[in-house]
Structures are given as C-alpha cells and as structure tokens.
Amino acid sequence: MKIAVLPGDGIGTEIVAEAVKVLNVLDLDFEMETAPVGGAAYEAHGHPLPESTLNLAKQADAILFGAVGDWKYDKLDRPLRPEQAILGLRKHLGLFANFRPAICYEQLTHASSLKPELVAGLDILIIRELTGDIYFGQPRGRRTATDGHFPGAEEAFDTMRYSRPEIERIAHVAFQAARKRSKRVTSVDKANVLETFQFWKDVVTEVGREYPDVELDHMYVDNAAMQLVKAPKRFDVVVTGNMFGDILSDEAAMLTGSIGMLPSASLNAQNQGLYEPSHGSAPDIAGQGVANPLATILSAAMMLRFSLDQPEAADRIESAVRQVLAQGLRTADIHSEGTTQVGTRDMGDAVVAAITKTTIKS
Ligand code: NAD
C-alpha cells in the first residue's frame, strides 16, 4: 500500500506531521512518500500541482492531504493559485464522491452554536457529488445579453447539468454507505424549480428501488438548510449535488462546533481517495503550533477504512481521539473552562499515547 503525503501550505505541514506520526505507530505495512502541493509547490516548481506530485498521487492507493492556500497568492493568475491543485487532483483522479461526516462529540456539545440537546449524539454523513453540476457545466462565461430583462447588457452565466450515469453512481455510493449505518438516505434537490434536479430526483428514486432495505426521502435544499439547524438529528446519510453539497456540508460542519474536528474523503470508482481535513490552511495561525490536528488524524482514519481496507486500525484511531477528548485535552479552537489547552504536537502525542496504551492492554 502506498500513501502520497501532500502537506501543502499554512497549518497543512503541522497537522499532517501529526497524522503521519499516528499512522506510523499503528505498525501497518505501507509506504509513505511526501510531495509539495499548492503554494509550496508553486514556490518549488512554478505550479501548484506539478507533474511529479500528480504522478505520485496517481500511483498511490490513497492521498493524505493537508490544506493549500495563502492570501499572498491571491494575485496570481487563477490556474497558478494553490487551490487549483485540489481541483486538478479531483479531475485527474476522477474523485466524484465527497464524504463529509458531521459528528458532534459528547465532550464538545457546548462548542456548537445550537443548543446541546439538538446536537448531542449528532452523526450525519453528507455525500456530495464532486465533479459535475454548475461548477463544471459548460458553457459558461461572460457575454452581451440578447434576451432576458436587460437585452444588450453585459451578463455572466454558468450551466447546471447532470447526466444519468453521474447521478446513478453517486446514488449507489449513498445507498451503500447507508447500509453500513442506519439505512436512511435523504436526497436533497430543488426539483420544484430546476429541471436538472427534477431529473436528479427521478434517477435517485430509480436507483433506490435496488435498495429496498434503505429508506429514501427527498427534501428541497431550502428546507434541508432549515432542518439542519432545527432538527439536525433527523438526518443520517444526505446525498446531493455539488453546489448544494458545498453549502450544506459547511453548515453541518458548524453544528459540531469546530471545523478543526472534521475529516473528509473524496473517492473515485476504484476506491482510491483523497483524505483531508474540511478546513483550509488557516494562515492566521500557521507556524504557531496551535492548530487542531484532529480533523487530519480522523481523515487518516477514514483513509484506512475506505481506501486501505484497514477498518480495525481506523477504529483504533477514532477511539483514541475520543479518549483524548475524554481526558479533557483541547487545542485552542475547542478549549473551554475546565479543560486543558494543548498545542498541535501535544495533541498528536496524546493520540499516539492512547493508541499505544490500547495496544499494550489488548
Ligand atoms: P480556513 O478554514 O483556513 O480558516 C477559517 C478559520 O478557522 C480561521 O480562523 C482558522 O484559524 C480556523 N481554523 C481552520 N482550521 C483550523 C484548525 N485545524 N485548528 C484551529 N483553527 C482552525 O479558511 P479561510 O481562512 O477562509 O482560508 C484560508 C486559506 O485556505 C485560503 O487561501 C483558502 O483558499 C484556503 N482553503 C483551502 C482549503 C483546502 O485546502 N481544502 C479549503 C478551504 C480554504
């Protein structure tokens, strides 16, 4: 098994170092190779996703990714900006299924912006289609309007589109994921207004007939946004398109308190995947040793489960994270009265210690 390690920029290097430390203590048989990506790769090779990094990613079974981006690159031409590296990896590896769990840990319910009783025990899995929809649909651009409310005016436009196979494959991913959980899927659409999402709804319904053991319901995206803050525990697996998923997964992330706790996975049809925390490179705290490494450590656990077929090792990491939270250890972003504030490295060390202790006991 080969893991491509792409730390990236800002806190990326600090948090990935902790995840690598955790992976190493598991004593599994895999090879890890590191390469620059994002701004770091632009500095070293003049491109955010150099050929050598892309080739490493293609050959690997899984990619452990930190984060990319820094304000200082905002003036570069768009194709050279660090964030383009993620889009490039998604495109070249065909990573069409994005998994974003939103789990509210018992010890962190107070960090949520919602009342504790609404989020205690929350465990949602948002599955977002990642390579289609209005983000990629052609044509797009700027032109002079020939019709509409202001003919002759300058206008911009994008194209929302989904093909049947694109919807079918993400629907299968969602139903299969639900089978491993509480067998409920909510498909989010805007079928009342958009042709694309009436089609989405029809195709998801058809695919759902192949999974009679999984309960399927449909919800309009505006209602889903409302229900996520009103009664988030009503959801289990949520499947939706690229744009709605982008927005709803960030909303769900906030229900759990800190973005520093949330892992994510993007998979292709061969289960090859890119695993990264849901947050960015946090330039405001980079280099200070205060970033929360748990989202990245939990992303490594997802990698073991989904791409490397090591579910027991994934369980060990997740249980070690619960243990360090139970011990009262917190990085600054999740710190509260009565808990012990620790830095990035100490948090990584505590997870390693919890894993080692469990290993010795068992
Ligand atoms: P961000 O997620 O980097 O940071 C938002 C806020 O959350 C900041 O205050 C930051 O300090 C805090 N934060 C984020 N991760 C944290 C952690 N692990 N521990 C503690 N606090 C944490 O989002 P932003 O500030 O909007 O963007 C910063 C840069 O990251 C930009 O260049 C942006 O384009 C990029 N970005 C990259 C990715 C990615 O690599 N996948 C995703 C989002 C943003």
- Ligand 1 centroid–CA 282 distance in Å is 4
Residue 285 domain boundaries: 1-96+268-362
Close Cβ partners of 230 (under 8 Å, ≥ 6 residues apart):
none
Mutate to test the pocket of ligand 1, among 84, 279, 321 (most ligand atoms within 8 A of CB): 279
| One-letter amino acid of 32 | M
Q: Are residues 70 and 83 in the same domain?
A: yes
- Catalytic residue flag (residue 315): no
Instruction: Count CB atoms within 10 A of the CB of residue 129.
Output: 26
CATH number at residue 18: 3.40.718.10
Task: Single out the catalytic residue among 202, 250, 346, 349.
Answer: 250
- Catalytic residue flag (residue 190): yes
Contact 11, 63 (CB under 8 A): no
Q: Are residues 16 and 61 in the same domain?
A: yes
Nearest 5°: phi and psi at 224?
Answer: -60, -40
Q: Are residues 85 and 161 in the same domain?
A: no
Q: Are residues 105 and 250 in the same domain?
A: yes
Q: Are residues 132 and 232 in the same domain?
A: yes
Close Cβ partners of 201 (under 8 Å, ≥ 6 residues apart):
187, 189, 191, 218
Q: Are residues 115 and 219 in the same domain?
A: yes
Ligand-binding site membership of 280 (annotated): yes
Burial class (CB in 10 A: 0-12, 13-18, 19+), 242: buried
Distances (CA, A) of 22 to 18, 191, 280, 356: 6, 44, 21, 10
Q: Are residues 251 and 272 in the same domain?
A: no
Domain count, the chain: 2
Mutate to test the pocket of ligand 1, among 281, 285, 292, 345 (most ligand atoms within 8 A of CB): 281
Q: Are residues 221 and 277 in the same domain?
A: no
Can you tell me the distance from the alpha carbon of 33 to that of 274, in angstroms, rounded to the nearest whole number? 14
Close Cβ partners of 337 (under 8 Å, ≥ 6 residues apart):
none
On the CB side of 97, CA atoms within 13 Å amount to 27
pLDDT for 62-95, tens place per residue?
999 999 999 999 999 989 999 999 989 999 999 9
Q: From the CB of 67, is ligand 1 less than 6 Å away?
A: yes
Ligand-binding site membership of 290 (annotated): yes
Closest CA to 63 of 263, 223, 211, 274: 274
Ligand-binding site membership of 292 (annotated): yes
One digit per residue, pLDDT tens: the chain, 362 residues? 999 999 999 999 999 999 999 999 998 999 999 999 999 999 999 999 999 999 999 999 999 999 999 999 999 998 999 999 998 999 999 999 999 999 998 888 888 889 999 999 999 999 999 999 999 899 999 999 999 999 999 999 999 999 999 999 999 999 999 998 989 999 999 999 999 999 999 999 999 999 999 999 999 999 999 999 999 999 999 999 999 999 999 899 888 877 889 999 999 988 899 999 999 999 999 999 999 999 999 999 999 999 999 999 999 999 999 999 999 999 999 888 889 999 999 999 999 999 998 665 54
Contact 103, 254 (CB under 8 A): no
- pTM, two decimal places: 0.90
Can you tell me the distance from the alpha carbon of 26 to that of 263, in angstroms, rounded to the nearest whole number? 19
Cis peptide before 139 (omega within 30 of 0): yes
49-59 in b/e form (b: 16+ CB < 10 A) is: bbeebbebbee
Last residue of a domain, one of 217, 242, 262: 262
pLDDT for 245-284, tens place per residue?
999 998 998 888 778 899 999 999 888 999 999 999 999 9
The alpha carbon of residue 186 and the mean position of all alpha carbons in its chain are separated, in whole angstroms, by 19
- Catalytic residue flag (residue 9): no
Nearest 5°: phi and psi at 309?
Answer: 55, 45
- Catalytic residue flag (residue 246): yes
Task: Single out the catalytic residue among 58, 91, 180, 222.
Answer: 222
Can you tell me the distance from the alpha carbon of 127 to that of 233, in angstroms, rounded to the nearest whole number? 16
Last residue of a domain, one of 262, 295, 310: 262
Distances (CA, A) of 1 to 28, 89, 259: 10, 19, 29
Nearest ligand 1 atom, CA 12: 40
pLDDT of residue 205: 98
Can you tell me the distance from the alpha carbon of 98 to that of 129, in angstroms, rounded to the nearest whole number? 6
Q: Are residues 204 and 250 in the same domain?
A: yes
Last residue of a domain, one of 200, 232, 262: 262
Can you tell me the distance from the alpha carbon of 293 to that of 119, in angstroms, rounded to the nearest whole number? 22
Closest CA to 317 of 334, 295, 300, 331: 300
